[in-house]
């Protein structure tokens, strides 16, 4: 339907953008590819073999990010749903309410979880006070569970908002029509509401999964620096915290997650054309 | 069912706000522990305002955020207009390139630019990462969001008004500024604000692309978390949070009606 | 509406920060000093600026490796750095350090003779000693049974009784040194088999480790979240000041003895100012004040005499000769060993 207005000179409008994106997006990616396939001796495929070496790291990252994403969908849906059924005023306030924590620096927020989760932390102290006994086996931090919690906590709003947006697009009349035709509550939900909110869920999934799988901070702060995720590996190879800097291996690992994610996004967008328009609409 | 949902929403709110509460609460700690509250005091706020490093990096953060938001809004708005006028595969290609920084994991964007900068700086004697590299990096990840927020406004624009203006003898440039720009203004403004926010909050990309002398607030905060924890960070976060909260409340209470339409 | 709020915020922040940082654009040189975290009395920096007019941009790192990679990536131009001995010899070899003009550092005379001409800088050309110390094992007497520390051994770090309450160095060189000592290896071994064996030790220890940390040791040990940690002697002293239940010992198997020295980078554009800074830190009075704050042993003989008695006689800060004999100083490892070390360290972090 959009025919396109030709305003000013097409080429002139696009020139700054094109040159900027070529120079600072495409060239850097080309450099990543270049580094991934070379070492000091020139062309090589040997960097890619590190993916095999680090396959467990890759799996762990995928596993934790997937768990976090699923938990986010499950936690976010009821919230998004009740928001979408509320009055306009409540909806607006709820949106603000959910976005507000994101205004605090995420490092400081993640650190605050340490205070909550530690063995001597607030949650454990509260439990001790309430039940009057010790829980020596209850370790809430420095494990994979805490990493998942950090991911869920940090990225939950990115799941709630897109689902909520897609739910608000479902007209009340549509739901009434379904009811008039004899659908009961769960049928209305299963046949009408859920399918129509799929675009929101999909865009939420990408917005939670991608930062989760590539995080290197959450695993450090809440995981006790014990288990590397793929993001930690990349950071390590580029900044040399283990004593050796190796751009080539780092680039190869980056290339792998980049290709994985671009492929997954492409497939998802294929399933859902609408996702493109709702993507990125956090604010 | 409804009650259940309410209980659930309260639980999630507690989950979202528990750390915030901890941060605010401990910012008034008279002790120096982030885990043991010893008594009320304002000492961390006082120390915060004496900490030049934090204040300087806040200043740097704002400078980078303002500059990168302005530049990326200019480039992004022009680009959106350009992309809007394209058709077919060309349009798809531009959109695809635009989406790369949005979809790519931040760390990949960060290291790809780091490689470029390290490579390019190698050609210059005494060149180092700092203001320039940070600004470029921030503009780069901001542009796509500006494009994405201006494009929908262009799609929803009534093009006939523009052609009418031309038919009435208005020069294209004037028609552009008088007719097109006002119609897409809300998209431009929201793009500008989004760019500003993203830039202010960015950690990952700055972490890989900043140098010794020019560090933004998130980088400073990160380097502080590696040391014995300092409650100045809580005081700082609390203050920034209070500013946002106050602004939201003021705007929200003032004009509830108009806002409803926009939302 | 949100947008307006944000726009307002933008303006507010801008104004606030402009006010906060207005002025102060003097054109005197600014020196970039890059030091370990928690390793200086920050007031001395102000004093330096007051005396010389030279401003200091002070940043910190958590390990020698972090500092090194920041410098070689060309990401940043620092002037003064304070690495440990093995890193200094590596950087001398790679031609990263500037030869100092000791005419600008008259206070060098106060450095004790035994701290001059050490292996890492045999001709005293590139470095001026800042502090020295050893690695010690810190533990909490409330929770750790006396019989487990009676032998003052490294075994405490591998004691399953304290699973989940043990902290460990988050840098490979220090962590591997402990494992090597436990096995009776030299910390400077280049034998790959010994490195593999040390890595096995660390992997065996991993389930017992609460977290791999550097300066977060302070929070966790003082707050009693963790009970046992290996750390640097001076920092251990600071920790003991804050929690009287904490004690520490130099392990009988031997420990790393380190010399951290001030160096100027070859790329520095303010070499003279940097030398002025080094000279200032060696000033008898300043070095004494600084030593009281950081709690490390100092090489400045005159300043040492000014220290309070309990500090001078503290055997953890200034261990007796027989203890020092068991300690080993790091030397720079050859590239293939460094490579192996980094690979094994990553292996430790990717063994789940």
Per residue in A112-136, pLDDT (tens digit) is: 999 999 999 999 999 999 998 888 7
Question: Which helix H or strand E contains C32, and what residues bound it?
Answer: strand C30-36
Q: What angle separates helix A247-271 from helix A27-36, to the nearest 10 degrees?
A: 120
Considering chain B, what percentage of its residues have pLDDT values greater than 90? 58
From first to last of the 352 residues of chain C, give the pLDDT tens digit. 444 554 545 444 444 443 344 333 344 788 999 998 889 998 999 999 999 999 998 888 888 888 888 888 776 789 999 999 999 999 999 999 999 999 999 999 999 999 998 989 999 999 999 999 999 999 999 999 999 999 999 999 999 999 999 999 999 999 999 999 999 999 999 999 999 999 999 999 999 999 999 999 999 999 999 999 999 999 999 999 999 999 999 999 999 999 999 999 998 989 999 999 999 999 999 999 999 999 999 999 999 999 999 899 988 889 999 999 999 999 999 999 999 999 999 999 999 9
How many Cα atoms sit within 13 Å of B260 on the Cβ side?
9
Structural domain includes residue A86: yes
Contacts of C65 in chain A (CB under 8 A): 240-243
Q: What ipTM did this prediction achieve?
A: 0.89
Structural domain includes residue A3: no
Contact yes or no for C125/C100 (Cβ under 8 A): yes
Indicate whether A282 pLDDT > 60: no
> Tokens 């707050």 correspond to what residue?
C223
The number of angstroms, rounded, from the C-alpha of C69 to the middle of its chain's C-alpha atoms is 16
Q: Average of pLDDT values for A79-99?
A: 91
| CA pair distance A98, A157, nearest whole angstrom | 6
B47/chain A closest Cα distance in angstroms: 17
DSSP annotation of C142: T
pLDDT digits (tens, 9 = 90+) for A1-53: 344 455 667 788 899 999 999 999 999 999 999 999 999 899 999 999 999 99
Among C1, C3, C59, beta carbon nearest to B252: C1
| CA pair distance B112, B106, nearest whole angstrom | 10
Q: Are residues A157 and A271 in the same domain?
A: yes
Cα-Cα-Cα-Cα torsion C79, C84, C90, C91, nearest 10 degrees, comes to 10
Q: In this predicted structure, what is the pLDDT of residue C17?
A: 44
Q: In this predicted structure, what is the pLDDT of residue C58?
A: 87
Q: Which domains does chain C have, with CATH numbers?
A: 28-132+258-317 (3.40.190.10), 133-257+328-349 (3.40.190.10)
Best residue of A26, A80, A112 to probe chain B, by most B CBs closer than 10 Å: A112
pLDDT digits (tens, 9 = 90+) for A211-268: 999 999 999 999 999 999 999 999 999 998 888 889 999 999 999 999 999 888 878 7
Which residue of chain C has the CA closest to A245?
C69
Q: What is the pTM of this model?
A: 0.90
Best residue of C168, C174, C211 to probe chain A, by most A CBs closer than 10 Å: C211
Structural domain includes residue A179: yes
pLDDT digits (tens, 9 = 90+) for B173-215: 888 888 888 999 999 999 999 999 999 989 999 999 987 778 8
- Three-state DSSP at C131 gives strand
For B21-37, the DSSP string reads HHHHHHTTBSSS-SS--
Q: Are residues A82 and A18 in the same domain?
A: no
pLDDT digits (tens, 9 = 90+) for B11-62: 999 999 999 999 999 999 998 888 888 899 999 999 999 888 889 899 999 9
| CA pair distance A160, A180, nearest whole angstrom | 29
Residue C300, beta-bridge partner list: C111
Q: Are residues A20 and A69 in the same domain?
A: no
Mark yes or no for CB contact B108/A101 under 8 Å.
Answer: no
| CA pair distance C221, C214, nearest whole angstrom | 12
Q: How many domains does chain A have?
A: 2
Rounded CA Rg of chain C: 22
CATH of the domain at B154: 1.10.3720.10
Residue-range definition of the domain harbouring residue A17: 10-44
| CA pair distance C88, C98, nearest whole angstrom | 11
Contact yes or no for B137/B113 (Cβ under 8 A): yes
B164/chain C closest Cα distance in angstroms: 32
Question: Which helix H or strand E contains A61, and what residues bound it?
Answer: helix A55-84
Contact yes or no for A141/A114 (Cβ under 8 A): yes
Residue A163, beta-bridge partner list: none
Q: Which residues touch C221 (CB under 8 Å, ≥6 apart)?
A: C138, C140, C167, C227, C229, C239, C243, C246
| CA pair distance A45, A53, nearest whole angstrom | 14
Taking Cα atoms as reference points, which of C233, C333, C349 lies closest to residue A241?
Answer: C349
Angstrom distances, CA of residue B76 to CA of A89, A131, A280, B83, C175: 33, 58, 15, 10, 49
> Tokens 């040159």 correspond to what residue?
A19
Q: In this predicted structure, what is the pLDDT of residue C19?
A: 38
Taking Cα atoms as reference points, which of C49, C22, C21, C34 lies closest to residue B52?
Answer: C21
Q: Are residues A179 and A265 in the same domain?
A: yes
Structural domain includes residue A144: yes
Question: Does A60 reach chain C within 8 Å, measured CB to CB?
Answer: yes
| CA pair distance C103, C39, nearest whole angstrom | 26
Strand C55-61, strand C30-36: pairing: parallel
**B182: exposed, middle or buried (C-beta count within 10 Å: 0-12, 13-18, 19+)?**
exposed
pLDDT digits (tens, 9 = 90+) for B124-177: 766 788 899 999 999 999 999 999 999 999 998 888 888 898 899 888 888 888
Q: Are residues A74 and A32 in the same domain?
A: no
Structural domain includes residue B122: yes
The number of angstroms, rounded, from the C-alpha of B250 to the middle of its chain's C-alpha atoms is 21
Structural domain includes residue B41: no
Q: Are residues A204 and A229 in the same domain?
A: yes
Q: Are residues A121 and A31 in the same domain?
A: no
Q: In this predicted structure, what is the pLDDT of residue C27?
A: 40
């Amino acid at each position: 339907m959009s025919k396109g207005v030709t305003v000013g000179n097409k080429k002139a409008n696009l020139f700054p953008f094109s040159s900027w994106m070529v120079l600072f997006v495409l060239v850097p990616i080309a450099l990543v590819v270049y580094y991934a396939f070379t070492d000091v001796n020139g062309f090589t495929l040997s960097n890619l073999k590190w993916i095999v070496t680090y396959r467990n790291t890759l799996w762990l990252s995928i596993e934790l990010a997937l768990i976090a994403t699923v938990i986010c969908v499950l936690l976010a849906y009821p919230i998004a749903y009740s928001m979408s059924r509320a009055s306009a005023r409540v909806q607006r306030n709820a949106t603000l309410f959910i976005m507000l924590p994101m205004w605090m620096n995420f490092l400081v927020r993640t650190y605050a979880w340490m205070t909550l989760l530690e063995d001597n932390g607030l949650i454990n102290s509260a439990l001790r006070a309430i039940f009057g006994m010790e829980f020596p086996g209850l370790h809430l931090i420095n494990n994979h569970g805490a990493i998942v919690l950090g991911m869920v906590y940090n990225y939950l709003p990115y799941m709630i908002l897109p689902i909520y947006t897609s739910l608000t697009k479902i007209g009340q009349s549509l739901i009434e029509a379904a009811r008039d035709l004899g659908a009961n509550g769960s049928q209305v939900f299963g046949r009408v509401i859920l399918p129509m909110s799929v675009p929101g869920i999909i865009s939420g999934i990408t917005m939670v999964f991608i930062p989760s799988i590539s995080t290197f901070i959450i695993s450090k702060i809440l995981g006790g620096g014990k288990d590397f995720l793929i993001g930690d590996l990349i950071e390590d190879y580029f900044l040399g915290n283990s004593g050796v800097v190796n751009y080539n291996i780092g680039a190869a690992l980056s290339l792998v997650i980049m290709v994985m994610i671009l492929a997954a996004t492409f497939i998802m967008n294929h399933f859902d054309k609408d996702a493109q328009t709702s993507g990125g609409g956090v604010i | 069912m409804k009650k259940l949902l309410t209980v659930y929403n309260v639980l999630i709110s507690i989950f979202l706000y528990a750390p915030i509460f901890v941060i605010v609460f401990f910012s008034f700690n008279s002790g120096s522990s982030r885990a043991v509250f010893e008594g009320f005091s304002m000492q961390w706020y006082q120390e915060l305002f004496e900490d030049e490093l934090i204040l300087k990096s806040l200043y740097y953060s704002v400078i980078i955020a303002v500059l990168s938001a302005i530049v990326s809004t200019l480039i992004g708005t022009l680009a959106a207009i350009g992309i809007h006028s394209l058709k077919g595969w060309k349009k798809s290609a531009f959109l695809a390139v635009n989406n790369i920084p949005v979809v790519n994991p931040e760390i990949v964007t960060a290291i790809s630019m780091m490689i470029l900068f390290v490579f390019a700086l190698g050609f210059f004697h005494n060149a180092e990462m700092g203001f320039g590299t940070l600004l470029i990096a921030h503009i780069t990840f901001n542009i796509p969001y500006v494009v994405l927020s201006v494009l929908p406004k262009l799609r929803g624009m009534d093009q006939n008004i523009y052609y009418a203006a031309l038919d009435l003898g208005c020069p294209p440039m004037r028609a552009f500024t008088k007719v097109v720009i006002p119609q897409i203004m809300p998209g431009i403004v929201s793009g500008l604000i989004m760019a500003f926010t993203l830039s202010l909050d960015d950690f990952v990309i700055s972490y890989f692309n900043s140098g010794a002398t020019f560090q933004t607030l998130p980088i400073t905060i990160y380097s502080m978390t590696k040391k014995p924890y300092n409650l100045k960070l809580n005081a700082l976060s609390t203050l920034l949070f209070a500013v946002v909260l106050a602004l939201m409340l003021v705007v929200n209470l003032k004009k509830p009606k108009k806002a409803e339409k926009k939302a | 509406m949100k947008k307006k709020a944000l726009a307002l915020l933008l303006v507010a922040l801008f104004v606030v920060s402009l006010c906060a940082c207005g002025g102060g654009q003097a054109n005197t040189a600014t020196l970039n000093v890059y030091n370990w975290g928690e390793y200086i009395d920050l007031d001395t920096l102000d004093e330096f600026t007051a005396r010389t007019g030279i401003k200091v941009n002070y940043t910190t790192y958590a390990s020698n490796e972090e500092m090194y990679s920041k410098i070689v990536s060309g990401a940043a131009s620092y002037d003064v750095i304070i690495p440990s001995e093995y890193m200094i010899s590596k950087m001398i070899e790679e031609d990263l350090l500037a030869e100092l003009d000791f005419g600008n550092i008259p206070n060098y005379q106060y450095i004790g003779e035994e701290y001059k001409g050490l292996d890492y800088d045999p001709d005293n050309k590139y470095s001026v000693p800042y502090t020295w110390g050893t690695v010690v094992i810190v533990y909490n007497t409330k929770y750790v049974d006396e019989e487990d520390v009676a032998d003052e051994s490294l075994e405490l770090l591998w004691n399953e009784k304290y699973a989940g309450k043990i902290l460990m160095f988050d840098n490979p060189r220090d962590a591997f040194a402990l494992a090597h000592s436990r096995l009776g290896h030299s910390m400077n071994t280049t034998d790959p088999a010994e490195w593999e064996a040390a890595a096995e030790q660390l992997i065996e220890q991993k389930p017992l480790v609460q977290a791999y940390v550097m300066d977060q040791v302070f929070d966790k040990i003082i707050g009693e979240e963790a009970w046992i940690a290996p750390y640097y002697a001076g920092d251990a002293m600071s920790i003991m000041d804050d929690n009287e239940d904490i004690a520490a010992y130099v392990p009988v198997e031997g420990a790393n003895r380190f010399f951290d020295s001030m160096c100027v980078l070859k790329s520095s554009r303010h070499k003279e100012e940097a030398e002025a800074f080094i000279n200032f830190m060696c000033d008898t009075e300043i070095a004494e004040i600084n030593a009281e704050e950081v709690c490390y042993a100092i090489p400045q003989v005159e300043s040492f005499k000014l220290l309070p008695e309990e500090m001078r006689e503290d055997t953890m800060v200034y261990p007796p000769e027989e203890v020092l004999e068991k300690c080993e100083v790091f030397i720079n490892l050859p590239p293939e060993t460094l490579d192996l070390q980094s690979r094994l360290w990553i292996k430790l972090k990717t063994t789940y």
